[in-house]
Amino acid sequence: MCSTATCYTRVICQSDVPVFIPSTAHVLVEGKNVSIYTPSSSHVVFKPDDSESRIRRKPRSPEVPEEGIVVIYAADMRKFNEWVQVVITDNMKVYCEGGSSVYFSPNSTATVYQLLKNVV
């Protein structure tokens, strides 16, 4: 699902198929049991009072599938003072390109796998 407003475009993902998100998009995790694969160059944001049991971090080597993955293509809207937000729902597996920004809603649960090198 995609919606557009004055300063942003929002893409809501609901899929059993893994999703690859480019660095030009902001990622908002609203679901539970989400797996995020992101390089250390990505900006991962959650409130300091979030419990470690809700958002876990683990190191991992990149194993991005070569097929059976949805790739979201989005123009770099920053030059127009706009942005693209990708909303992640329950039980999804997400691969982020280096430089992505990943945010967590208060009720989300996730495991963040810090990749040892950039994904591209």
All structural domains of the chain with their residue ranges: 2-115
Instruction: Look at residue 48 in the predicted model and tell me its pLDDT.
Output: 60
pLDDT band at 67 (very low <50, low <70, confident <90, very high): confident
Sign of the alpha-carbon dihedral angle for 88, 60, 67, 77? positive
- pTM given for the model: 0.80
With bands split at pLDDT 50, 70 and 90, how would you rate the model's confidence at 50?
low
- Segments of the chain assigned E as strands: 2-4, 8-13, 19-21, 25-29, 34-39, 43-45, 55-60, 70-71, 83-88, 93-96, 101-104, 110-115
51 pLDDT above the threshold of 80: no
Residue-level pLDDT at 53:
62
Burial (CB count within 10 angstroms: exposed 0-12, middle 13-18, buried 19+), residue 10: middle
